[in-house]
Amino acid sequence: MVIFKEAAQLGDFLRHKVENNLNIGFIPTMGALHSGHISLVKNAHAQGMFTVCSIFLNPTQFNDKKDYEQYPVSTDADIEMLLQAGCDVLFLPSVEEMYPGGTDKMKTYDFGYLDTILEGANRPGHFKGVGQIVSRLLDIVKPHTLYLGQKDYQQCMVIKKLIEILGLPSLNLVISPTLREQDGLAMSSRNRRLTEPQRALAALLYQCLVSIQTKQAGGNFAIVQKECTDLLIAKGFTPEYVALADANNLQLLSNYDNSVPMITLIAAKIGEIRLIDNILLQ
Ligand SMILES: Nc1ncnc2c1ncn2[C@@H]1O[C@H](COP(=O)(O)OP(=O)(O)OP(=O)(O)O)[C@@H](O)[C@H]1O
Ligand SMILES: CC(C)(CO)[C@@H](O)C(=O)[O-]
Ligand code: BAL
CB 119 within 8 A of CB 127: yes
Q: Which domain holds residue 93?
A: 2-176
Please indicate if the annotation marks 30 as binding a ligand: yes
Span from the CA of 276 to the centroid of ligand 3 (angstroms)? 9
Q: Is 131 among the domain residues? A: yes
Residues 146, 34 within the same domain: yes
pLDDT digit string (tens) for the chain, length 282 residues: 999 999 999 999 999 999 999 999 999 999 999 999 999 999 999 999 999 999 999 999 999 999 999 999 999 999 999 999 999 999 999 999 999 989 888 899 999 999 999 999 999 999 999 999 999 999 999 999 999 999 999 999 999 999 999 999 999 999 999 999 999 999 999 999 999 999 999 999 999 999 999 999 878 999 999 999 999 999 999 999 999 999 999 999 999 999 999 999 999 999 999 999 999 998
Residues 116, 80 within the same domain: yes
DSSP code string of 63-99: SSHHHHHT----HHHHHHHHHHHT--EEE---HHHH-
Q: Is 164 among the domain residues? A: yes
Q: What is the pLDDT of residue 68?
A: 96
Residues 146, 216 within the same domain: no
Catalytic site positions: 37
CATH number of domain containing 95: 3.40.50.620
Residues 105, 197 within the same domain: no
Q: Whose CA is closest to 141, among 175, 93, 187?
A: 93
Please indicate if the annotation marks 61 as binding a ligand: yes
Please indicate if the annotation marks 16 as binding a ligand: no
Q: What is the pLDDT of residue 185?
A: 98
Q: Is 238 among the domain residues? A: yes
| Last-in-domain residue among 132, 152, 176 | 176
Where do the H-state alpha helices sit in 188-253? 196-201, 204-214, 221-234
Residues 157, 48 within the same domain: yes
Report the alpha-carbon distance of residue 136 to residue 282 in Å, rounded: 36
Residues 222, 102 within the same domain: no
Q: Is 183 among the domain residues? A: no
Report the alpha-carbon distance of residue 159 to residue 150 in Å, rounded: 12
Angle at 20 between CA 18 and CA 21, to 5 degrees: 65
Question: Exposure pattern of 152-180 as b/e (b: 16+ CB <10 Å)?
Answer: bbbbbbbbebbbeeeebeebeeebbebbb
As a three-state string, the secondary structure of 153-199 is HHHHHHHHHHHHHHCCCCCEEEEECCCECCCCCECCHHHHHCCHHHH
Q: Is 221 among the domain residues? A: yes
Going by CA atoms, what residue is nearest to atom 10 of ligand 2?
29
Span from the CA of 148 to the centroid of ligand 1 (angstroms)? 8
Report the alpha-carbon distance of residue 219 to residue 176 in Å, rounded: 29
Angle at 189 between CA 162 and CA 25, to 5 degrees: 45
Residues 112, 198 within the same domain: no
Residues 59, 85 within the same domain: yes
Q: Is 281 among the domain residues? A: no
Report the alpha-carbon distance of residue 237 to residue 233 in Å, rounded: 5
**Residue 243 forms beta bridges with which residues?**
265
- Which are the contacts of 214, defined by CB distance < 8 A and separation ≥ 6? none
Going by CA atoms, what residue is nearest to atom 1 of ligand 3?
152
Domain count, the chain: 2
